[in-house]
Amino acid sequence: MANIVVVFDFDKTIVECDSDNWVVDELGFTDLFNELVPTMPWNNLMDRMMMELNSNGKTIEDIVQVLKRIPIHPRIIPSIKAAYTLGCDLRIVSDANTFFIETILKHFGIRECFSEINTNPGYVDEGRLRILPYHDLNKPPHKCNLCPPNMCKGLIINRIQESISCEENKRFIYLGDGSGDYCPSLRLKEKDFVMPRKNFPVWDLICKDPSLVKAKIYEWSDGEDQERVLHQLINKISMEETAEFISTEFKLQTPSFSTHEAMPKALRVLH
Protein backbone atom coordinates (compact mmCIF):
# COMPACT_ATOMS: atom_id res chain seq x y z
CA MET A 1 0.00 0.00 0.00
CA ALA A 2 2.37 2.64 -1.28
CA ASN A 3 -0.32 5.28 -0.89
CA ILE A 4 -0.48 5.00 2.91
CA VAL A 5 1.76 7.10 5.16
CA VAL A 6 1.78 5.80 8.74
CA VAL A 7 3.14 8.33 11.24
CA PHE A 8 4.03 7.01 14.69
CA ASP A 9 4.71 8.89 17.86
CA PHE A 10 7.47 6.98 19.71
CA ASP A 11 7.13 7.07 23.52
CA LYS A 12 4.12 5.09 24.81
CA THR A 13 3.13 4.42 21.18
CA ILE A 14 5.99 2.23 19.88
CA VAL A 15 7.75 1.61 23.19
CA GLU A 16 5.65 1.07 26.29
CA CYS A 17 7.08 3.88 28.45
CA ASP A 18 8.62 7.32 28.05
CA SER A 19 12.23 6.77 26.92
CA ASP A 20 13.43 9.95 28.70
CA ASN A 21 11.98 8.82 32.04
CA TRP A 22 13.16 5.26 31.44
CA VAL A 23 16.83 6.30 31.11
CA VAL A 24 16.71 8.72 34.04
CA ASP A 25 14.91 6.23 36.33
CA GLU A 26 16.97 3.17 35.37
CA LEU A 27 20.24 5.04 35.99
CA GLY A 28 18.99 6.22 39.40
CA PHE A 29 18.49 9.94 38.77
CA THR A 30 14.75 10.21 39.40
CA ASP A 31 15.06 12.48 42.46
CA LEU A 32 17.28 15.04 40.75
CA PHE A 33 15.02 14.92 37.69
CA ASN A 34 11.91 15.61 39.79
CA GLU A 35 13.70 18.48 41.52
CA LEU A 36 14.60 20.11 38.20
CA VAL A 37 11.28 19.51 36.37
CA PRO A 38 9.65 22.76 37.53
CA THR A 39 12.72 24.87 36.69
CA MET A 40 13.12 24.43 32.92
CA PRO A 41 11.50 23.18 29.70
CA TRP A 42 11.56 19.38 29.21
CA ASN A 43 13.96 19.48 26.25
CA ASN A 44 16.56 21.56 28.18
CA LEU A 45 16.04 19.35 31.21
CA MET A 46 16.96 16.23 29.24
CA ASP A 47 20.16 17.87 27.99
CA ARG A 48 20.93 18.86 31.59
CA MET A 49 20.21 15.34 32.86
CA MET A 50 22.63 13.89 30.29
CA MET A 51 25.28 16.25 31.66
CA GLU A 52 24.49 15.10 35.21
CA LEU A 53 24.74 11.44 34.17
CA ASN A 54 28.10 12.13 32.55
CA SER A 55 29.56 14.02 35.51
CA ASN A 56 28.41 11.22 37.81
CA GLY A 57 30.36 8.65 35.83
CA LYS A 58 27.56 7.19 33.70
CA THR A 59 28.84 6.42 30.21
CA ILE A 60 27.19 6.40 26.79
CA GLU A 61 27.43 2.60 26.97
CA ASP A 62 25.44 2.65 30.25
CA ILE A 63 22.72 4.63 28.48
CA VAL A 64 22.76 2.27 25.48
CA GLN A 65 22.42 -0.78 27.74
CA VAL A 66 19.41 0.79 29.48
CA LEU A 67 17.81 1.73 26.13
CA LYS A 68 18.13 -1.86 24.91
CA ARG A 69 16.05 -3.03 27.89
CA ILE A 70 13.15 -0.63 27.28
CA PRO A 71 9.77 -2.40 27.51
CA ILE A 72 7.89 -2.91 24.24
CA HIS A 73 4.66 -4.84 23.66
CA PRO A 74 5.46 -8.10 21.78
CA ARG A 75 3.02 -7.29 18.94
CA ILE A 76 4.50 -3.88 18.04
CA ILE A 77 7.56 -5.13 16.13
CA PRO A 78 5.68 -7.71 14.00
CA SER A 79 2.99 -5.09 13.28
CA ILE A 80 5.55 -2.52 12.08
CA LYS A 81 7.40 -5.11 9.98
CA ALA A 82 4.13 -6.22 8.37
CA ALA A 83 3.07 -2.65 7.55
CA TYR A 84 6.49 -2.03 6.02
CA THR A 85 6.30 -5.25 3.97
CA LEU A 86 2.88 -4.16 2.67
CA GLY A 87 4.59 -1.07 1.26
CA CYS A 88 3.34 1.57 3.72
CA ASP A 89 5.59 4.60 4.16
CA LEU A 90 6.39 4.58 7.91
CA ARG A 91 7.66 7.67 9.70
CA ILE A 92 8.27 8.77 13.28
CA VAL A 93 7.44 12.14 14.83
CA SER A 94 8.67 12.23 18.42
CA ASP A 95 9.70 14.62 21.17
CA ALA A 96 12.36 12.13 22.37
CA ASN A 97 15.70 12.36 20.52
CA THR A 98 17.57 10.76 17.62
CA PHE A 99 20.08 8.95 19.86
CA PHE A 100 17.45 7.14 21.97
CA ILE A 101 15.18 6.32 19.02
CA GLU A 102 17.91 5.13 16.63
CA THR A 103 19.51 2.99 19.35
CA ILE A 104 16.20 1.34 20.26
CA LEU A 105 14.98 0.80 16.67
CA LYS A 106 18.35 -0.69 15.60
CA HIS A 107 18.31 -2.97 18.65
CA PHE A 108 14.84 -4.26 17.69
CA GLY A 109 15.89 -4.60 14.02
CA ILE A 110 13.25 -2.20 12.68
CA ARG A 111 15.27 0.94 11.93
CA GLU A 112 15.13 0.33 8.17
CA CYS A 113 11.30 0.13 8.27
CA PHE A 114 11.13 3.93 8.75
CA SER A 115 11.76 6.38 5.92
CA GLU A 116 12.12 9.32 8.30
CA ILE A 117 12.60 10.09 12.00
CA ASN A 118 11.58 13.61 13.01
CA THR A 119 12.77 14.30 16.53
CA ASN A 120 15.13 16.39 18.67
CA PRO A 121 18.78 15.98 17.64
CA GLY A 122 20.79 13.82 20.07
CA TYR A 123 24.50 13.25 19.63
CA VAL A 124 27.60 12.26 21.59
CA ASP A 125 30.02 15.08 22.36
CA GLU A 126 33.18 14.10 24.26
CA GLY A 127 31.49 11.20 26.00
CA ARG A 128 28.41 13.23 26.92
CA LEU A 129 25.06 12.97 25.20
CA ARG A 130 23.75 16.33 24.01
CA ILE A 131 20.04 16.83 23.31
CA LEU A 132 19.01 19.89 21.31
CA PRO A 133 15.59 21.29 20.35
CA TYR A 134 14.06 20.22 17.03
CA HIS A 135 13.18 23.82 16.17
CA ASP A 136 16.12 26.21 16.32
CA LEU A 137 15.21 28.44 19.28
CA ASN A 138 17.34 31.25 17.83
CA LYS A 139 14.94 31.51 14.91
CA PRO A 140 11.44 33.05 15.19
CA PRO A 141 9.17 30.82 17.36
CA HIS A 142 6.70 28.45 15.68
CA LYS A 143 3.63 30.34 16.98
CA CYS A 144 1.64 27.20 17.79
CA ASN A 145 0.17 27.64 21.25
CA LEU A 146 -0.66 23.92 21.59
CA CYS A 147 2.98 22.81 21.44
CA PRO A 148 6.21 23.32 23.41
CA PRO A 149 8.77 25.74 21.86
CA ASN A 150 11.20 22.97 20.88
CA MET A 151 8.74 21.01 18.73
CA CYS A 152 5.39 21.49 17.00
CA LYS A 153 4.42 18.09 15.59
CA GLY A 154 1.66 19.74 13.56
CA LEU A 155 4.22 21.73 11.58
CA ILE A 156 6.07 18.50 10.83
CA ILE A 157 2.83 16.88 9.58
CA ASN A 158 2.19 19.94 7.39
CA ARG A 159 5.71 19.64 5.98
CA ILE A 160 5.16 15.94 5.16
CA GLN A 161 1.74 16.75 3.62
CA GLU A 162 3.34 19.40 1.42
CA SER A 163 6.25 17.18 0.41
CA ILE A 164 3.92 14.46 -0.89
CA SER A 165 1.01 16.62 -2.09
CA CYS A 166 2.11 16.28 -5.71
CA GLU A 167 1.84 12.51 -5.39
CA GLU A 168 -1.47 10.76 -5.99
CA ASN A 169 -3.94 10.49 -3.13
CA LYS A 170 -1.70 9.67 -0.17
CA ARG A 171 -3.59 8.92 3.03
CA PHE A 172 -2.26 9.31 6.55
CA ILE A 173 -2.70 7.13 9.61
CA TYR A 174 -1.37 8.94 12.72
CA LEU A 175 -0.77 7.06 15.99
CA GLY A 176 -0.06 8.77 19.30
CA ASP A 177 -0.80 9.00 22.99
CA GLY A 178 0.43 12.35 24.36
CA SER A 179 -0.85 15.91 24.42
CA GLY A 180 1.82 16.74 21.80
CA ASP A 181 -0.04 14.44 19.39
CA TYR A 182 -3.17 16.60 19.48
CA CYS A 183 -1.84 19.39 17.23
CA PRO A 184 -0.90 17.01 14.37
CA SER A 185 -4.28 15.23 14.76
CA LEU A 186 -6.01 18.55 14.02
CA ARG A 187 -4.02 18.96 10.79
CA LEU A 188 -5.08 15.65 9.21
CA LYS A 189 -7.61 15.69 6.35
CA GLU A 190 -11.02 13.98 6.00
CA LYS A 191 -9.52 11.06 4.09
CA ASP A 192 -6.96 10.43 6.90
CA PHE A 193 -7.14 8.44 10.13
CA VAL A 194 -6.01 9.23 13.65
CA MET A 195 -5.40 6.48 16.21
CA PRO A 196 -5.33 8.00 19.72
CA ARG A 197 -4.39 5.70 22.59
CA LYS A 198 -7.48 5.23 24.76
CA ASN A 199 -7.45 7.02 28.13
CA PHE A 200 -4.21 8.83 27.33
CA PRO A 201 -3.89 12.66 27.00
CA VAL A 202 -4.43 12.91 23.21
CA TRP A 203 -7.56 10.75 23.51
CA ASP A 204 -8.90 12.99 26.30
CA LEU A 205 -8.24 16.10 24.18
CA ILE A 206 -9.91 14.60 21.10
CA CYS A 207 -12.91 13.39 23.12
CA LYS A 208 -13.57 16.91 24.42
CA ASP A 209 -14.74 17.87 20.92
CA PRO A 210 -14.24 15.18 18.26
CA SER A 211 -15.81 17.49 15.64
CA LEU A 212 -12.57 19.53 15.61
CA VAL A 213 -10.78 16.52 14.09
CA LYS A 214 -11.40 16.09 10.36
CA ALA A 215 -9.75 12.66 10.17
CA LYS A 216 -11.64 9.52 11.17
CA ILE A 217 -10.86 8.52 14.74
CA TYR A 218 -10.05 4.96 15.78
CA GLU A 219 -8.88 4.35 19.33
CA TRP A 220 -6.50 1.62 20.53
CA SER A 221 -5.50 0.51 24.01
CA ASP A 222 -2.39 -1.70 23.92
CA GLY A 223 0.10 -3.14 21.43
CA GLU A 224 -2.17 -6.00 20.41
CA ASP A 225 -5.04 -3.61 19.86
CA GLN A 226 -2.79 -1.21 17.97
CA GLU A 227 -1.73 -3.98 15.58
CA ARG A 228 -5.34 -5.04 14.97
CA VAL A 229 -6.70 -1.54 14.36
CA LEU A 230 -3.74 -0.43 12.23
CA HIS A 231 -3.94 -3.45 9.96
CA GLN A 232 -7.72 -3.24 9.66
CA LEU A 233 -7.33 0.38 8.56
CA ILE A 234 -4.64 -0.58 6.02
CA ASN A 235 -7.04 -3.25 4.68
CA LYS A 236 -9.94 -0.81 4.65
CA ILE A 237 -7.95 1.75 2.65
CA SER A 238 -6.77 -0.88 0.19
CA MET A 239 -10.36 -2.10 -0.30
CA GLU A 240 -11.54 1.46 -0.90
CA GLU A 241 -8.78 1.99 -3.46
CA THR A 242 -9.76 -1.25 -5.21
CA ALA A 243 -13.44 -0.24 -5.24
CA GLU A 244 -12.49 3.14 -6.67
CA PHE A 245 -10.33 1.48 -9.30
CA ILE A 246 -13.18 -0.84 -10.33
CA SER A 247 -15.71 1.98 -10.45
CA THR A 248 -13.54 4.15 -12.70
CA GLU A 249 -12.50 1.16 -14.77
CA PHE A 250 -16.08 0.05 -15.48
CA LYS A 251 -17.74 3.42 -15.00
CA LEU A 252 -20.20 1.92 -12.53
CA GLN A 253 -21.83 3.48 -9.54
CA THR A 254 -20.34 1.27 -6.87
CA PRO A 255 -22.03 1.32 -3.47
CA SER A 256 -20.20 4.06 -1.65
CA PHE A 257 -18.30 3.50 1.57
CA SER A 258 -19.67 6.87 2.61
CA THR A 259 -22.83 5.36 4.08
CA HIS A 260 -20.59 3.94 6.77
CA GLU A 261 -18.40 7.03 6.96
CA ALA A 262 -21.43 9.24 7.41
CA MET A 263 -22.03 7.90 10.90
CA PRO A 264 -22.29 10.62 13.53
CA LYS A 265 -18.85 11.92 14.36
CA ALA A 266 -17.68 9.82 17.26
CA LEU A 267 -14.86 7.58 18.30
CA ARG A 268 -15.07 4.50 16.18
CA VAL A 269 -14.09 1.14 17.59
CA LEU A 270 -13.13 -1.67 15.24
CA HIS A 271 -14.18 -5.15 16.31
Tell me whether residue 192 is annotated as binding: no
* Residue 93, beta-bridge partner list: 118
Please report, to the nearest 10 degrees, the dihedral formed by the alpha carbons of residues 131, 43, 67, 70 taken in order.
Answer: -160
Q: Could you tell which of Mg ion, Zn ion, none binds residue 191, using a CB distance below 5 to 8 A set by kind?
A: none
Out of 3, 12, 42, 102, the residue judged to bind Mg ion by CB under 5 A? 12
62 is catalytic: no
| Cβ at position 103, least distance to Mg ion in Å | 17
- Binding status of residue 20 toward Mg ion by CB under 5 A: no
* Residue 130, beta-bridge partner list: 123
Residues 6+ apart with CB under 8 A from 183: 144, 146, 147, 152, 153, 154
Please report, to the nearest 10 degrees, the dihedral formed by the alpha carbons of residues 198, 204, 210, 213 taken in order.
Answer: -90
- Say how far apart CA 200 and CA 197 lie, in whole Å: 6
Beta carbon nearer to Mg ion, 9 or 225 = 9
Beta carbon nearer to Zn ion, 49 or 183 = 183
Tell me whether residue 18 is annotated as binding: no
Catalytic residue among 11, 18, 89, 192: 11
| DSSP secondary structure letter of residue 127 | T
Tell me whether residue 11 is annotated as binding: yes
- Say how far apart CA 264 and CA 260 lie, in whole Å: 10
Considering only the C-alpha atoms of the chain, give the largest distance between any 2 of them, rounded to a whole number of Å. 71
- Binding status of residue 95 toward Mg ion by CB under 5 A: no
Question: What is the x/- site pattern for Mg ion, positions 141-180, by CB under 5 A?
Answer: ------------------------------------xx--
Tell me whether residue 125 is annotated as binding: no
Tell me whether residue 20 is annotated as binding: yes
- Say how far apart CA 270 and CA 233 lie, in whole Å: 9
| Cβ at position 176, least distance to Zn ion in Å | 13
Q: Would you give the distance in Å from CA 65 to the centre of its chain?
A: 24
Q: Would you give the distance in Å from CA 114 to the centre of its chain?
A: 12
Catalytic residue among 9, 47, 89, 225: 9
9 is catalytic: yes
Binding site for Zn ion (CB under 5 A): 144, 146-147, 152, 154, 183
**What stretches of the chain adopt beta strand conformation (E)?**
4-8, 89-97, 114-120, 122-125, 128-131, 171-176, 193-196, 216-217
| Cβ at position 254, least distance to Zn ion in Å | 38
| Cβ at position 202, least distance to Mg ion in Å | 8
- Which residues contribute to the annotated binding site for Mg(2+)? 9, 11, 177
The set of catalytic residues is 9, 11
Residue ranges in contact with Mg ion by CB under 5 A: 9, 11-12, 177-178
